[in-house]
Structure 1
Amino acid sequence: MPVARIYSIEWYDDRFFFISWVLYSLVVSSVFQTFMASFLVDPGLERQVSTVEDILNSGLGYGMYRTFKVFLEYLPKQQLDVLLDRAEDCANILECAEKVVKHGNYATILSGITAEYLNTYKTVDDKGTALLYILESKVWTNFQVFLLPKGSGFLSMFNRLIRTAREAGLVQYFWRDMLTTSKIKTGSVRVHTLLDDYTVFSLTYLQSAFILLVLGHCFALCLFLAELTCSWWALRRRKMAVKYPGADIKPHVP
């Protein structure tokens, strides 16, 4: 009497592969969630513009007060030609600074002390953060001098006082004190609170995470349906093998 042939396989091979896959998925999921949360909290910053060449190559708009064009003769000729050809004229220094703050993709030429002073009362946001960024590279150096009559007896005394003040750091001390006083008068000094250490997530921030979550659920659902289909097909073949033993049906044994 013919009987159906039953093919046996090692069950622990499939179980070991399944357990390994579950552990691997758990590790990948944990690492992904960690990096995703880190990216949402701090997405990082783009490369900071730090030189005049970076400004010319970045596509930023730029303008300057017409008086400053005289001081650009120390720049390389190629940069000077491009800068003078594309630069917009501003009515005054403050107008150029306000364009930088308003547009965000704009640059201008200012003296360092002017930019620092504007950052204390004029070019600040609601939180008191300065909105003007000063490049590390200098376009020109501006000297400030005292003019005295020729042969004045105060010349040596002025030189000694100025040299002593600079060596003692009094110039920087009084300048920082002026900046702090300006911040206090304009109310731009803001006390750091615990809420500043947290970021409120909105649906815009979490949109990508929800999309990946939905895709993962869809993929898991497809695998579940495929598993049900395979199980149903294997069960059907086993029943057919028992019902029709002479048909030489090979049942699938999971």
Structure 2
Amino acid sequence: MDELLQNTHKRITWPVITSFLEAAMPENTIVYKHQSYIILLWAEERDDLINTLESQVENTKSYGPSFNRWGKFLVVVTDFGVQSPEALAMSIIKNLWDNHQIANSVIMIPNLYESVIRFDLYTWFPYESGQCGTIEEVVLLDRCILEKDRALSTNISLFSSKIPLNVHGCPIRVSTWDRHPNMILDTHNETNGSITYSGIEAVYLLLLSETMNMTIIYLPPPEKEMYLAEFFIYSLSSVFSGQADIAMGNFPLHYLPLAYCEPTIPYVYGTFKWYVQCARPIRRIDNLINLFTAPAWSVLVLLLILSAVTFWCIANSPHTSMTKESIVYRYLSECFTNTWAVFLGVSVPEMPRNFRLRIYFFLFVCYCFVISTVFQAYFTSFLIEPKFEKQIHTFEELQSSESRYLEHPSMQELGTYMNYDKYKKLRKCYEKCPDYGKCLSRLLDGEKATMLMLDLWAEYAASKSRRGQASLCPIDQTEFSMGLTMYLSKGSLFRDRFNVLIQRCFEAGLGKIYWSQLTWKVSLNKSHEHGGGEAANDSNVYFAFTVYHLRVAFCLLAFGGALSCIVFMAELLTKLHFTRLRLV
């Protein structure tokens, strides 16, 4: 034993930790994952070897977080009287896998053959020779003969990968459910039990199965309706009990299930945001009214009145010749008419003759030209791109907006898992909403409400609606993010291989390609249902300038015409009245 530890310590740079059944566990706050283990077994009988192995592995597992079942395990049997080394290796490997989910193990058993001492090294490959994760035979990796150079006869790797590139169609059981857009149930034949899924998460599983030649067997979904937190526990229980090999379906990467399952690396990332009612466009008539501020409109009206009075005063001043200035500027009513005509950009009946009146008239024409140019420019732009009401951008603005909070029943469990409780501040006006799709439709239709949703769900639901993703309006800040993953059974042999393939698919952008195709497909199907593929709302594509948008001008024209008729009728009635008085 001393020579073994001494030689091992000379060959490696990492510290060597020794443990035995009576040793006390060291107290260390810094956790180091053990990378390899050497387990020495000695006993008088074969059953004692298995019991000793069980005790030593349990003692090693008592190191807690430092224990690494994915490390390299070398089990050395010190008994030279083993009659069947292969059967003993089978028992040891079976015990390590069935009881402790340790797969990367090599068993070293001494064997005395024709007075020659040799050491046989055994291991197993769970997916070779028709095996599908079961221990049916062990493989003699190599042999070391002491009388020779005390080296292995071959240079093969003792701890090679247990999962080949091709698992030859071995089945893998998956526990999932119908949860759009992550897992979309396509077919469920209750006669033969065949189930197929599609979706943003299902595509990763399909890529893994095609690459490794696996057969996916979907377990039947639960009969009763469950929320996310309930099915999360239900599916993980199936994996922990051995009924399923994989649990997936909108499951976040979290530390709580790590004691029972092995997660893969995240392959879908999402963020939870508050989605609010989009700002409504302001009516175009209101845009025209708000083209200038109230003080600007007041100054404009005051200037028109003062300009008309100024025209009349200059034309009737003592310094102006009575025969020189035109009569259209000597009456106050005519001055108001001329001022209004210049402001509208039309001609006046006659130009002023007085020099001072011409100077002021020129300045007034320049001012009206500038105001008219600005008005026409903004008038056209407001018709093409109308203004909107104030949009909600922060959570504080959301609180003060008094929007109705549509809460999903699983929000409380999700908030507990993610340590998030800001949603409780909106519970003054809230409503239970078990169906995310229907509630989001209410939000897209313009209801004054708000929802906390994963961006993937919101984008998919909006793609299925007629309004599309352009009608989604989240606030600027992200509440929390999560990575979606699939959970494997503890010690699953597929974990490392899955992680490598998932990383390659993620870096290649295969998931994003599928996601864009999925959203585009559902949006096309929805548009075909509402008009044969035509745009659902043409007003979002172009703006048609019609006579309807000039109704303000026509209203002013009608008002002026009606006022002229009233004045004309008043003049006629006045003339008739004075005519009768004269006759009397």
TM over 0.5: yes
Q: Is the 8 A contact 2:459 2:469 kept in 1?
A: no
Instruction: Identify if the C-alpha distance between structure 1 residues 194 and 94 changes in structure 2 by more than 3 Å, giving closer, same or farther.
Output: closer
- 1:113: how far off? 1.1
2:492 aligned to which of 137, 148, 152? 152
Alpha-carbon distance in structure 1 between the residues aligned to 2:542 and 2:359: 45
Instruction: Identify if the C-alpha distance between structure 1 residues 201 and 105 changes in structure 2 by more than 3 Å, giving closer, same or farther.
Output: farther
2:368 aligned to which of 10, 21, 25? 25
Report 1:157-236 matches (<5 A). 157-187=497-527, 190=534, 196-201=541-546, 203=548, 205-209=549-553
- 1:34: how far off? 2.3
Alpha-carbon distance in structure 1 between the residues aligned to 2:539 and 2:397: 37
Alpha-carbon distance in structure 2 between the residues aligned to 1:163 and 1:177: 21
Alpha-carbon distance in structure 1 between the residues aligned to 2:405 and 2:481: 20
Q: Is the 8 A contact 1:120 1:182 kept in 2?
A: yes
Aligned to 2:466: 124
What root-mean-square deviation, in Å, do the aligned CA atoms of Structure 1 and Structure 2 show?
A: 3.4
- 1:44: how far off? 1.6
Instruction: Identify if the C-alpha distance between structure 1 residues 132 and 162 changes in structure 2 by more than 3 Å, giving closer, same or farther.
Output: same
- 1:209: how far off? 4.6
- Letter in structure 1 aligned against 2:403: L
Alpha-carbon distance in structure 2 between the residues aligned to 1:60 and 1:193: 29
- 1:63: how far off? 0.9
Aligned to 2:458: 115
Aligned to 1:238: none
- Give ranges in structure 1 of 5+ residues lacking alignment: 1-6, 222-254
- 1:206: how far off? 4.1
Instruction: Identify if the C-alpha distance between structure 1 residues 173 and 106 changes in structure 2 by more than 3 Å, giving closer, same or farther.
Output: same
1:83 equivalent to 2:426? Answer yes
Larger Rg: 2
Q: Is the 8 A contact 1:120 1:179 kept in 2?
A: yes
Alpha-carbon distance in structure 1 between the residues aligned to 2:556 and 2:386: 18
2:484 is paired with a residue whose SS is coil
- Letter in structure 1 aligned against 2:542: D
- 1:19: how far off? 2.4
Instruction: Identify if the C-alpha distance between structure 1 residues 56 and 190 changes in structure 2 by more than 3 Å, giving closer, same or farther.
Output: farther
Greater relative CO, 1 or 2 (CA 8 Å, sep 6+): 1
Q: Which stretch shows the higher mean deviation, 26-35 or 132-141? A: 132-141
- 1:85: how far off? 3.9
Q: TM-score, normalised by structure 1?
A: 0.66
Aligned to 1:35: 378
1:110 is paired with a residue whose SS is strand
Alpha-carbon distance in structure 2 between the residues aligned to 1:160 and 1:100: 41
- Give ranges in structure 2 of 5+ residues lacking alignment: 1-317, 322-353, 565-584
Identity of aligned residues (%): 23
- 1:156: how far off? 0.7
Alpha-carbon distance in structure 2 between the residues aligned to 1:14 and 1:152: 98
- 1:67: how far off? 0.5
Which of the two has greater helix per residue? Answer: 1
Instruction: Identify if the C-alpha distance between structure 1 residues 153 and 196 changes in structure 2 by more than 3 Å, giving closer, same or farther.
Output: closer
Instruction: Identify if the C-alpha distance between structure 1 residues 50 and 69 changes in structure 2 by more than 3 Å, giving closer, same or farther.
Output: farther
Instruction: Identify if the C-alpha distance between structure 1 residues 202 and 83 changes in structure 2 by more than 3 Å, giving closer, same or farther.
Output: farther
1:148 is paired with a residue whose SS is strand
Q: TM-score, normalised by structure 2?
A: 0.31
Q: Is the 8 A contact 1:64 1:108 kept in 2?
A: yes
Alpha-carbon distance in structure 2 between the residues aligned to 1:114 and 1:66: 16
